[in-house]
């Protein structure tokens, strides 16, 4: 499979003007690289109220800080980012952008263009926005970034308030961007692609002005940044980080997302003899809790549902609404105690340190995993959640991969340095950027490489059967 880091931009800005990320006045520290700062378990977050955006505080003792060259002044404002969503917005794109930009230190507002804050996205995932778009008119944003998806891009296009905000953004030479269908469906009718080189999803490429349309995964044209689809969204988001915070920040973010490692699916020769084909639509359970890694949850759900697999997101909490690792609120399909009454062909555990801790204490989940293994059914884990399988004794004589933060607690004979590993009934992946490969590998095992390749094409992601 293709490496996300191998996707070549045609015009990637290499700005170095910003020496440090802007932080909340409550977090006045020296700047620390993401690779040494414990951002995986303690990411910086922001909170929102209907009337204004307010910055969140953080407990300094939870983040290891080493002396660095630059002190962030409390007089510097946070970089404010607007990411609007509407009915049918592409969930992977929205969540990846929000997650990555919040990790970089931006104050990100998820704004609903619908009458309500709960918005059903293109793959059926329901997100709860932070704020209504009507309350964003008087806020000056450093970046307005539009996710794609259909009919989400049309819903964004038809929102007059968002149109006014984005036009003002462009007129005042502040950053704006769009991905997937949004450049052609949303920005072009607003007249915001004039004299700009632009790219978009291949299905909408013919709508762009032919002499300025560029067939590339990422295109930066002055204040405008465009990209092609879910499969290029990590690259798109890291580019936005660079334009907001500088080259060193984007380099650190790429490493943190594990985009700098080789993307490959590791299967021993005998692994290919194990097929997961079933005589019904594969049923997949994804248990979630407060603190679960939102990128991993939404990415896997979105991709598996594109392949018409039956996916159930089940909340460990007392309510269906869970707050992900970076404050993104997701509404699950069922409570875990109710989902436990059914049988699933595969149980996949998402990462996120706080979420993993909560999942690991669930008696219901422990029982489900034990029954899953004893009955010869499939199970798997993303990133740090491999620790749950380890504690349950489900990694004996297995090869697996995991997020670097938990590798030290596992048997060295277990760990393989690949992005995705399939060993019989077990499937695992390293982390955020490899969640796409994990989902495609699941599709290939249940439905064959043909369907996996078809789904990857829609994502604008290169799939290579291995």
In this predicted structure, the answer to whether residue 179 has a pLDDT above a threshold of 50 is yes
**Range among 256-270, 303-317, 417-431 with highest mean pLDDT value:** 303-317
| Predicted pLDDT of residue 48 | 39
314-to-139, 332, 341, 376 alpha-carbon distances in Å:
36, 6, 12, 22
Asked if 180 is an active-site residue, the reply is: yes
| Predicted pLDDT of residue 466 | 61
Q: Measuring CA to CA, which residue among 106, 56, 115 is closest to residue 82?
A: 106
| Predicted pLDDT of residue 335 | 98
Average of per-residue pLDDT values in the chain? 83
What number of other Cβ atoms are within 10 A of residue 457's Cβ? Answer: 14
CATH of domain 4-256: 3.40.50.880
| Predicted pLDDT of residue 274 | 43
For residues 194-214, give the mean pLDDT.
94
Convert the pLDDT of each residue in 138-154 to its tens digit. Answer: 999 999 999 999 999 99
Distance CA 436, CA 92 (A): 10
pTM above 0.75, yes or no: yes
Q: What is the dihedral of CA 299, 246, 104, 131, to 10 degrees?
A: -80
From 34-43, 84-93, 283-292, the region with the lowest mean pLDDT: 34-43
Structure tokens at 58: 């953080």
Instruction: Give the residue with greater pLDDT, 241 vs 43.
Output: 241
Instruction: With cut-offs at 50, 70 and 90, classify the pLDDT of residue 245.
Output: very high
Structure tokens at 273: 């003899």
Q: What are phi and psi of 164, to 5 degrees?
A: -65, -40
Distance CA 413, CA 410 (A): 8
| Residue from 136, 163, 201, 437 carrying the catalytic annotation | 201
Instruction: Give the residue with greater pLDDT, 35 vs 187.
Output: 187
Convert the pLDDT of each residue in 49-63 to its tens digit. Answer: 333 333 332 322 222
In this predicted structure, the answer to whether residue 294 has a pLDDT above a threshold of 60 is yes
Percentage, residues of the chain above pLDDT 90: 71
Beta bridge partners of 382: 429
| Residue from 93, 135, 293, 437 carrying the catalytic annotation | 93
What's the maximum distance between 2 C-alpha atoms anywhere in the chain?
A: 62
For residues 153-166, give the mean pLDDT.
98
Per CATH, which fold does 265-459 belong to?
Rossmann fold (3.40.50)
DSSP codes of every residue in 90-114:
-HHHHHHHHHHHHHTT-EEEEEESS
Asked if 30 is an active-site residue, the reply is: no
Distance CA 461, CA 446 (A): 19
For residues 305-310, give the mean pLDDT.
98
| Predicted pLDDT of residue 407 | 85
Q: Rg of the chain over CA atoms, in angstroms?
A: 21
For residues 424-446, give the mean pLDDT.
94
| Residue from 37, 136, 159, 180 carrying the catalytic annotation | 180
Distance CA 337, CA 100 (A): 32
Convert the pLDDT of each residue in 372-424 to its tens digit. Answer: 999 999 999 999 999 999 999 999 999 999 888 888 887 777 888 889 999 99
Length of the chain equals 466
Distance CA 302, CA 54 (A): 31
| Predicted pLDDT of residue 49 | 37
Q: What are phi and psi of 66, to 5 degrees?
A: -105, 150
Helices (H), 286-348: 294-306, 336-339
Spatial strand order of the sheet with 420-423 comes to: 265-266, 420-423, 426-429, 378-382, 346-349, 283-288, 310-315, 334-335
Instruction: Give the residue with greater pLDDT, 77 vs 296.
Output: 296
* DSSP assignment letter at 7: P
In this predicted structure, the answer to whether residue 196 has a pLDDT above a threshold of 80 is yes
Structure tokens at 160: 């007059």
Q: Where in the chain is the domain with CATH 3.40.50.880?
A: 4-256, 265-459
**Range among 207-221, 250-264, 306-320 with highest mean pLDDT value:** 306-320
| Torsion 122-237-348-313 (CA) sign | negative
Q: Are 297 and 286 in contact (CB under 8 A)?
A: yes
Convert the pLDDT of each residue in 6-29 to its tens digit. Answer: 333 333 333 333 333 333 322 222
Asked if 159 is an active-site residue, the reply is: no
Q: Are 219 and 187 in contact (CB under 8 A)?
A: no
CA atoms within 13 A on the CB side of 33: 10
| Predicted pLDDT of residue 76 | 56
């Amino acid at each position: 499979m293709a490496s996300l880091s191998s996707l070549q931009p045609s015009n990637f800005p290499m700005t170095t003007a910003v020496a440090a990320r802007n932080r909340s006045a409550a977090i006045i520290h020296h700047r620390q690289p993401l690779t040494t700062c414990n951002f995986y378990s303690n990411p910086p977050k922001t909170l929102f109220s209907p009337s204004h955006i307010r910055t969140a505080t953080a407990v300094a003792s939870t983040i290891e800080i080493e002396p660095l060259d630059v002190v962030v002044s409390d007089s510097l404002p946070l970089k404010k980012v607007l990411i609007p969503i509407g009915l049918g917005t592409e969930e992977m794109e929205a969540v990846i952008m929000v997650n990555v930009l919040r990790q970089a230190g931006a104050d990100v507002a998820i704004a609903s263009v619908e009458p309500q804050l709960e918005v059903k996205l293109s793959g059926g995932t329901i997100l709860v926005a932070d704020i209504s778009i009507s309350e964003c008119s008087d806020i000056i944003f450093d970046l307005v970034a539009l996710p794609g998806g259909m009919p989400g891009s049309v819903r964004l296009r038809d929102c007059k308030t968002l149109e006014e905000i984005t036009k003002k953004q462009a007129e005042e030479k502040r950053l704006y961007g769009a991905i997937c269908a949004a450049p052609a469906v949303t920005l072009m009718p607003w007249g915001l692609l004039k004299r700009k080189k632009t790219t978009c999803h291949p299905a909408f490429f013919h709508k762009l002005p032919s002499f300025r349309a560029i067939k590339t995964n990422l295109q930066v044209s002055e204040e405008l940044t465009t990209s092609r689809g879910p499969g290029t969204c990590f690259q798109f988001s890291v580019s936005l980080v660079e334009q907001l915070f500088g080259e060193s920040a984007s380099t650190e973010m790429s490493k943190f997302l594990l985009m700098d490692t080789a993307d490959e699916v590791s299967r021993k020769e005998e692994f290919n003899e194990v097929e997961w084909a079933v005589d019904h639509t594969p049923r997949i359970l994804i248990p979630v809790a407060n603190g679960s890694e939102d990128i991993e949850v939404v990415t896997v759900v979105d991709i598996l549902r594109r392949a018409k697999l039956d996916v159930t997101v089940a909340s460990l909490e007392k309510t269906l609404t869970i707050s992900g690792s970076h404050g993104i609120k997701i509404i699950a399909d069922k409570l875990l105690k109710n989902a436990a009454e059914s049988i699933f062909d595969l149980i996949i555990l998402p990462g996120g340190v706080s979420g993993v801790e909560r999942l690991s204490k669930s008696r219901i989940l422990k029982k489900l995993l034990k029954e899953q293994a004893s009955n010869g059914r499939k199970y798997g884990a993303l990133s740090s959640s491999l620790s749950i399988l380890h504690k349950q004794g489900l990694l004996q004589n297995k090869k697996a991969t995991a997020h670097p933060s938990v590798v030290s607690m596992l048997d060295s004979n277990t760990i393989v340095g690949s992005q995705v590993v399939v060993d019989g009934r077990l499937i695992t992946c390293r982390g955020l950027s490899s969640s796409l490969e994990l989902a495609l590998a699941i599709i290939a095992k249940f439905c064959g490489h043909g369907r996996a390749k078809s789904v990857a094409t829609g994502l604008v992601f290169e799939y290579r059967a291995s």
